[in-house]
Amino acid sequence: MNEQHDDERTRIRVAIDRLLAGQPTSSNGSLTAVALAAEAGVHRMALQKRHADLKEEFYARVRSETHQIPEVERRLRKEVVRLKEALKESRAAESESRHRAEQMALAAAVLILQEPDGENQPVPDNVIPLRLSGH
């Protein structure tokens, strides 16, 4: 590792300690990766790419030392709940569509199999006869 890399890691670790102590000097003090990068004086992408382990260490310490859920995790959990609800609604709509398609297929089969003079034939209770206009 080069000296710049080691210096960034040291600054990030010191910034983690400051944020968790509630003593920010270069950020808004929120317990986020954005605030951590600002506090450490490193580019956010450097934190995400080169120092991802320190970012995860930060979030682990946020959980254990402050007993808070990190903001990014909170947003993701909220999104998971929203997506599960959307999936549930989608599955219900798909089920309803399948049911309607089955009903239409059964009705079509009855109409196809019905004799031309089928108006005198008994219609099962679960079939609603279609009346052609003009008849």
pLDDT band (50, 70, 90) for residue 127: confident
Question: What is the residue range of 31's domain?
Answer: 3-68
pLDDT tens track for 18-60: 999 999 999 998 889 999 999 999 999 999 999 999 999 999 9
pLDDT of residue 74: 85
Q: Yes or no: say if 82 and 101 are a contact pair by the CB < 8 Å rule.
A: no
φ/ψ of residue 117, rounded to 5:
-100, 35
The share of the chain scoring above pLDDT 90, in percent, equals: 57
Q: Which of 6, 7, 45, 41 is nearest to 24 (CA)?
A: 41
* Residue 80 belongs to a domain: yes
**pLDDT at 130 exceeding the cut of 90:** no
* Residue 59 belongs to a domain: yes
C-alpha torsion sign, points 82, 83, 88, 93: positive
Residues 64 and 8 placed together within one structural domain of the fold? yes
pLDDT of residue 67: 82
